A = this chain, B = another copy of it.
Amino acid sequence: MTKFDYQKINELIHSRIRLAIMSVLVNLEEADFTYLKQKVNTTDGNLSIHLSKLENAGYISVNKIFEDKKPRSLYKLTKTGRESFEAYIEHLEEIIKTGNRQDV
């Protein structure tokens, strides 16, 4: 076991698109589907797949509402999601920081 063990990196968060989604949400109360799609720059289908994965992991929650008779999906980080994201970042920082030759 070493800190560089790649399997210790949270795969659910690490995927580029899910990392981008989580990074947008971590600074917001909530964001809707269209906003997220524009921010992470992907397609409806791709975004849906990854939002579902994050929702299934308990990292985000969705609130489906109607506004002017149009459906709108609002996403936000759960407490678990926020804690997991913070743990992920902390772990990543530990791995990637340079200049710590003695730990290699």
Q: How large is the interface on A (under 10, 10 to 19, 20 to 34, 35 or more residues)?
A: 20 to 34
A5 to B23 CA separation, bound complex (whole angstroms) = 11
Which residues in chain A, 13-59, are within 8 Å of chain B measured between CB atoms?
Answer: 14, 16-17, 19-20, 23-24, 26-28, 38-42
Per-position 1/0 for A82-104, Cβ under 8 A of B: 00001001001001101111011
A86 to B98 CA separation, bound complex (whole angstroms) = 9
Q: Is the interface of A mostly helix, strand, loop or mixed?
A: helix
Identical chains bound together, number: 2
* CB-based contact B28/A101 at 8 Å: yes
Say whether A63 faces chain B, with CB atoms less than 8 Å apart.
Answer: no
**Chain B residues positioned under 8 Å from A20 (CB to CB):** 4-6, 9, 95
Q: Which residues does A use to contact B, with CB under 8 Å? A: 1-2, 4-7, 9, 11, 14, 16-17, 19-20, 23-24, 26-28, 38-42, 86, 89, 92, 95-96, 98-101, 103-104
